[in-house]
Amino acid sequence: MTAQEIIGHIESVNDQQIVVRVSKPAEVVNDGEEARIRTGQVGSYVVIPQENGDLLAMVTAQRTRQPSRRAADSPEDQSTVITVLAVGMIREGRFCRGITRYPVVGESVRTAGDADLATIFTSWDSRETDEQGESAQTTTAETVQGTVRAGGHPPSLALGRFTPNQKYEVSLDGKTFCARHAAILGSSGSGKSCTVAQIVQQATALPGAQVILFDLHGEYFSAFCGEKGEPLSNVAYISGNELVLPYWLLRYEEMEQLFLDKSNPANIPTQKTFLKEALMRLRGEAAKALGLSSVYTVDSPVYFSLEQLRCYANNLNQARFVLNSERYAFKQTALRHLPPEEQDKLMVESDVRFNLGNPEGEIPHPVYHGRLGGAGQPAGAEDERPPV
């Protein structure tokens, strides 16, 4: 049976799948060295000829349709039905993912032959030579060391071999793959870690490639070591004990988890207000030095002083104002006469003291006084403020 022979016709079409009624028996249609593919076998490919090219589809299900009760009860009355999923089009010797139009009921379906598969797996070369102005009409695959693979496309990353016909090597376009988000999914033991190691190993071999791999469980270390168990010359390994990330890289939500004092739930909204205001103020100096004053946010990874955050929280927690004034009522009388901008700077940079109780001529801070208990310092940290 040849690869070009018709095996059936389309019975129904929707936007999710195509149903084909198989008219040929379950014969071997592609007899490779390591795989024998039968008509409509799940995982194999079929081709639906179209006016603007050939639609390539993968078989996802196969079943036998029982005859109706009125039909004769014999094996000859049973029919095989396969469900296929359209994956792309073959036009002028090149494979492109996606389809421009769906086929219609009654159109013929044939198995995908070597020429069709070769077109798919050599499309990287076709694309490269086309960009260079050379011929891109590749219909047969180049055999390299007994395998069919894309010949000479530098960014290609080999994943493995096509299971139904293992003379074909399956590759990724490295440039496109690395420029997008990707996820490798599978059940336990299916080879996710091996696939990641395979991709990264090939990527690091490319000229000028730079890859950062976060190995939380230490499962990839051996994949990038030599025979003596030491990292390869182009690999820099940093263990979890050596990697320290600065606190100012944390997002605001993470800052809340770290700095809010949750012993009194009634004070949490006030503490959140303070934390946002304080972070914007403290990050502002570094943002200004970096030319980011107009674009930085509370989440921007810009440096701020953790000690200043602690000072600011502790000072506001006991802050008082001079009655009918916007000046802070510091315990040291001389500090009360400083200009407001200098008082604000002092509140951030130094540990200051206010009078306790209810001194005459003073009022507590209307928002923060007594509500920032442990805010501004990590949970469990003690206030090591030196005595006045």
| Residue with the larger pLDDT of the pair 74 and 193 | 193
Beta strand 147-149 with 18-22 is unpaired
Asked whether residue 167 is assigned to any structural domain, the reply reads yes
Q: Is residue 151 part of a domain?
A: yes
Do 276 and 334 fall within a single domain? yes
Q: What is the C-alpha separation between 311 and 321, in angstroms, rounded?
A: 18
Residue 371 located in a structural domain: no
Instruction: Write down the pLDDT at residue 219.
Output: 87
**What pLDDT is stored for residue 241 in this prediction?**
77
- Enumerate residues 6+ apart whose C-beta is below 8 A from 7: 20, 22, 23, 24, 29, 39, 40, 46, 109, 110, 111
The reply to whether 182 falls in a domain is yes
Residue 135 binned pLDDT confidence (cut-offs 50, 70, 90): very low
Confidence of residue 145 (pLDDT cuts 50, 70, 90): very low
Residue with tokens 């770290």: 258
Specify the pLDDT at position 87.
92
Distance of CA 219 to the CA centre of its chain: 19
> Which residue in the block uniquely carries the two structure tokens 């972070």?
279
Range of the domain at 331: 248-364
DSSP 8-state code for residue 67: P
Q: How far apart, in whole angstroms, are the C-alpha atoms of residue 107 and residue 115?
A: 21
In a domain, 231, yes or no: no
Residues 22 and 100 in one domain: yes
> In this structure, is residue 387 part of a structural domain?
no
Residue 88 CA neighbour count, 13 Å, CB half: 14
What local confidence, expressed as pLDDT, does residue 380 receive?
45
260 and 354 assigned to the same domain: yes
Q: Are residues 42 and 108 in the same domain?
A: yes
Tell me, yes or no, whether 337 and 255 share the same domain. yes
Q: Are 240 and 214 in contact (CB under 8 A)?
A: no
Phi and psi at residue 308, to the nearest 5°: -70, -35
Cβ count within 10 A of residue 45: 22
Residue the block writes with tokens 């006469």: 337
Per-residue pLDDT tens over the stretch 83-108: 999 999 998 888 888 888 899 999 99
Residue 216: the pLDDT is 81
Provide the pLDDT for residue 349.
93
Residues 156 and 264 in one domain: no
205 Rama sector, left if φ>0, alpha if ψ -120 to 50, beta otherwise: alpha
Residue 3 has pLDDT above 70, yes or no: no
Q: In the prediction, which pLDDT does 376 show?
A: 55
Question: Do residues 77 and 28 both lie within one domain?
Answer: yes
Closest of 39, 36, 37, 130 to residue 91, by C-alpha: 130
Asked whether residue 379 is domain-assigned, the answer is no
190, 285: one domain: no
| Co-location of 360 and 253 in the same domain | yes
Asked if 259 contacts 378 with a C-beta cutoff of 8 angstroms, the reply is: yes
The answer to whether residue 13 scores a pLDDT higher than 60 is: yes
Q: Which of 316, 332, 387, 323 is nearest to 359 (CA)?
A: 323
Q: Per-residue pLDDT for 303 more than 60?
A: yes
SS3 percent helix, strand, coil of the chain, rounded to 5, is 25, 25, 50
Confidence band, pLDDT 50/70/90 cuts, at residue 279: very high
Q: Which two tokens stand for residue 193?
A: 């870690």
Separation in Å, CA 308 to CA 39, 258, 349: 74, 16, 6
Residues 265 and 320 reside in one and the same domain: yes
pLDDT at 378: 52
- What token pair was written down for 358? 């209810």
| Both tokens assigned to 188 | 């336990």
Tell me the per-residue pLDDT of 230-249, one tens digit each, with 9 for 90 and over: 888 888 888 877 878 899 99
> Highest mean pLDDT: which of 138-152, 207-221, 329-343, 368-382?
329-343
Count of helices and strands (H, E) across the chain: 8, 15
Is 323 in the same domain as 269? yes
* The pLDDT value given to residue 149: 39
Q: Please report where in the chains the tokens 């293992």 appear, as a residue.
A: 166
Considering the domain boundaries, does residue 298 fall inside one?
yes
Q: For the chain, first and last CA: distance in Å? A: 97
Query: How many domains does the chain contain in total?
Result: 3
Residues 6 or more apart whose CB falls under 8 angstroms from that of 77 comprise 67, 71
The span from the CA of 279 to the CA of 302, in Å, is 10
CB neighbour burial string for 7-19, b if at least 16 within 10 angstroms, e if fewer: bbebbebeeeebb
Task: Report the pLDDT value the prediction gives residue 36, as an integer from 0 to 100.
Answer: 66
What pLDDT does 122 receive? 66
pLDDT (tens digit, 9 = 90+) per residue, 24-69? 766 665 555 555 677 888 888 999 999 889 999 999 999 987 766 5
Hey, how many other C-beta atoms are within 10 angstroms of the C-beta on 280? 15
Same domain? 99 vs 166: no
